[in-house]
Amino acid sequence: MKINDSIFVNYQAGKCSAAEKLVVERWLDQLDRFPEPEDRSMLMFLENLDDSMPFVKSRKKKPSWKWMVAACIFFVLSTTIYLYWIGRADRYKDTAIEAIKAPIKSNAIVVLQDGTEYDLDRLKQNDTLDVAGYRIVRTSDDQITYLTDSTQKSKTIYNTIRTKTGGAAQILLADGTKVWLNTHSELRYPICFTDGIREVSLRGEGYFEVAKQELGGRRMPFFVRGNAQTIQVLGTKFNADFSIKNQTALLEGAVAFSDRGSSLEERGNEQFAVRIGPNQVYDGQKIIEAKDIARYVDWKEGYFDLNELNVEQISEKLSDWYGIEIKVDGSLTQVKLFGRVRRDKSLKEVLDLMAQVHPMDYAMKNNYVHISNRRRKN
């Protein structure tokens, strides 16, 4: 059986037609039945190929023709597989980051007093959920509110709204107070305030617009209770971040602080010794005068505010919102950026905008995004 060596070259390059591929494979099948290949030109081709392979050159004894054929086949297959996986990895790297879009759902649940959970994304605008004798309503502007009767007003029933990765929610409390919850946060509250007491429990971050309310000619205080701090409010607008930062930023009114954590219905002799006014921030230790208080509620307005934040701080925000781990090179962590980016953009769009402010590269590595200083081109 004769075969043209150009066909074998095409076979090696993966350019053979189906018919040519069949001819080459049949020729290879005959090798086990003959002591030497019948086609001498093919033998010369194999020997030349053998000379071009460094791991074959190191052998002192000249390899047999069968070994050379096996090496050739191994070389073709391994090269093809390697190129396939490299190309696949590159495509995955590009598409993986591009596939990370901004959340389009609330990613939030409401938990009843008995522990029953309801996915708020299943509750459409203007829909009503009948539960345990009262109704939960999702209004046309995506706000959660309650419809109750006198039966519920005579006892304290607690519900909880919890946001997951990329989640956000807003609720109208029974006294008219409005609360917005950021991602990875939790608000526990009574569906009706009783006995002249207004209090909620917060984990994570929430923005409050507390309604003013009086009882017997006196203003009723509103309490936000956390693990490390308690806030007393009379009627104001503020952002409480009870995460690691433990920062409260005041936009309007006045608030007071007790540097002791508390939980619902566990009131004690709390001393609210620290007070702040508008455009001030309290972090549990000191009061800070804010140049731009609005940046503390950027998330509520649908933005990532990059001003005065370094790359590491920004990456933490992005991780919480997009649900992907982000690692930053040590040389880049303290680099500060500026500007504001909408949270409805994809992760790639946000990273591209960051790279316009400071030259940086990003790439998907395993299951996380790695951000590094941009390499200079030679």
pLDDT at 225: 94
What pLDDT digit, counting tens, does each position of 289-304 carry?
998 999 999 999 999 9
Average pLDDT over residues 112-123: 94
Average pLDDT over residues 59-83: 50
What pLDDT digit, counting tens, does each position of 177-236 carry?
999 999 999 999 999 998 888 999 999 999 999 999 887 777 889 999 998 899 999 889
Rg (CA), the chain: 33
* Residue 103: closest CA among 374, 328, 359, 299: 299
What pLDDT digit, counting tens, does each position of 148-182 carry?
887 777 788 999 999 999 999 999 999 999 999 99
The residue ranking higher by pLDDT, 314 or 73, is: 314
163, 165, 168, 174 alpha-carbon torsion, rounded to 10°: 10
pLDDT at 109: 96
> What contacts 24+ positions apart, CB below 8 Å, involve 194-197?
194/153, 194/154, 194/155, 194/156, 196/220
71, 75, 81, 82 alpha-carbon torsion, rounded to 10°: 130
What are the distances in angstroms from CA 376 to CA 209, 359, 360, 361, 371? 49, 10, 10, 11, 15
- Output the CATH code of domain 302-373: 3.55.50.30
The residue ranking higher by pLDDT, 287 or 89, is: 287
Residues facing residue 190 across a β-bridge: 158
pLDDT at 375: 75
The residue ranking higher by pLDDT, 76 or 354, is: 354
- Gap between the Cα atoms of 77 and 81, Å rounded: 6
- Evaluate if residue 251 carries a pLDDT over 90: yes
Does the predicted model carry a pTM greater than 0.85?
no
Which range (63-77, 93-107, 289-303) has the least confidence? 63-77
Contact, 230 vs 261, CB < 8 A?
yes
**pLDDT above 90 covers what percent of the chain?**
50
Q: How confident is the model at residue 30 (pLDDT cuts 50, 70, 90)?
A: low
- Evaluate if residue 33 carries a pLDDT over 70: no
Average pLDDT, the chain: 81
Give 207's contacts (C-beta < 8 A, 6+ positions apart). 179, 180, 182, 237, 238, 239, 240, 297, 300
Contact, 138 vs 125, CB < 8 A?
yes
Dig out the tokens for 358 from the structure: 């400071």
The residue assigned the tokens 């309007």 is 252
pLDDT at 95: 52
Contact, 196 vs 218, CB < 8 A?
no
Domain 108-296, what fold? Jelly Rolls (2.60.120)
pLDDT at 80: 47
The DSSP letter of residue 34 is S
- Evaluate if residue 92 carries a pLDDT over 70: no
Q: For residue 24, count other CB atoms closer than 10 A to its CB.
A: 17
What are the distances in angstroms from CA 221 to CA 192, 207, 224, 254, 313? 15, 17, 10, 11, 34
Contact, 183 vs 166, CB < 8 A?
yes
What pLDDT digit, counting tens, does each position of 331-370 carry?
888 999 988 999 999 999 999 999 998 999 999 988 899 9
Domain locations along the chain: 5-98, 108-296, 302-373
- Evaluate if residue 255 carries a pLDDT over 50: yes
**pLDDT above 70 covers what percent of the chain?**
74
